[in-house]
A = this chain, B = another copy of it.
Amino acid sequence: MKLSRLLRLRGIFYTKKDKRLAASIKHMAGSKPFNLALYKLAIKHASVSDEYVNGLKISNERLEYLGDAVLGAVIAEFLFIKFPYRDEGFLTETRSRMVNREALNQIAIKIGLAKLISESYEGRNLNAHKSIFGDSLEALIGAIYLDRGYKFCKKFILKRIVIHYDVDEIINTTTNFKSKIIEWAQKENKEVEFKMVSMTGNQRFKEFLVEIWIENESTASGKGNTKKKAEQEASKNACEKLAIQI
């Protein structure tokens, strides 16, 4: 019998609660867990734990530390391959945006991890710890890594986590197109001007329209709900039009 099958045999000793957890993990990770204890630990936040072993509080914090490192490596490779002509400054910045607490919180909600945690700790107030879901997502990654190895964990991250990112959106906010245009203009010795053409809408929904004039000629325009975003959008369009390397 294959080892993986043997390991799954543990399932016959599961309690009803264990079975539900194993099913949830299977939904999230795409395969039944081998060592369920790791996943139980992964959803145990320090704020809801009061067990101590050898002076160490039993919580998911160690798994979170491990998961954070594995996630970092997988995302690093993902961006390395996706952007063969971008420098390491861009890659580092984009990665840090992808693994920030808020982004991970959102993904934990999307994949159902937040619901699983809320259910396990009903009656306790989890809202006091806003990062609890993102932390637990990292801990889940740590648990999957220990349970199933790097290859499986990498697949989990790429197929079930990265898929929720709008990478283009992240990059658009990572790249400062306006400074690219200004840099380019200085190098090429051209005069560049950002003109706000119009501002429409009411107090709540504003729309700005900005044009970029290069050497007294309108080159590109952009819209946005703030002046900054409109300038960014216009700069991006100008970069494309002028084929400026970003």
Partner-B contacts on A (CB < 8 A): 53-57, 61-62, 64-66, 68-70, 72-73, 75-77, 80, 85-88, 91-92, 95, 145, 150-151, 154, 245
Contact = CB atoms under 8 A, between A and B. Distances in A.
B65 A92 contact: yes
User: What copy number does this chain have within its complex?
Assistant: 2
Contacts of A72: 69, 72-73
Contact of A62 (B61, B91, B95): B91
Given A73-B72, A86-B56, A150-B151, A80 B92 contact: no
A123 to B, nearest CB: 27
A85 B245 contact: no
Contacts of A145: 77
Contacts of A77: 66, 69-70, 145
A53 to B, nearest CB: 7
Given A66-B76, A150-B150, 12 more contacts: A55-B85, A55-B245, A56-B85, A56-B86, A56-B87, A62-B87, A65-B88, A66-B77, A69-B77, A72-B73, A150-B151, A150-B154
A54 to B, nearest CB: 4
A70 B77 CA distance: 9
A149 B77 CA distance: 11
A87 B61 contact: yes
B65 A76 contact: yes
Contacts of A54: 85, 245
Nearest to A75: B69
Contact of A80 (B55, B65, B80, B95): B65
A245 B54 CA distance: 8
Nearest to A151: B150
A99 to B, nearest CB: 11
A91 B68 CA distance: 12
Contacts of A56: 85-87
Given A55-B245, A150-B150, A62 B88 contact: yes
Contacts of A73: 69-70, 72-73
Contacts of A57: 87
A182 to B, nearest CB: 17
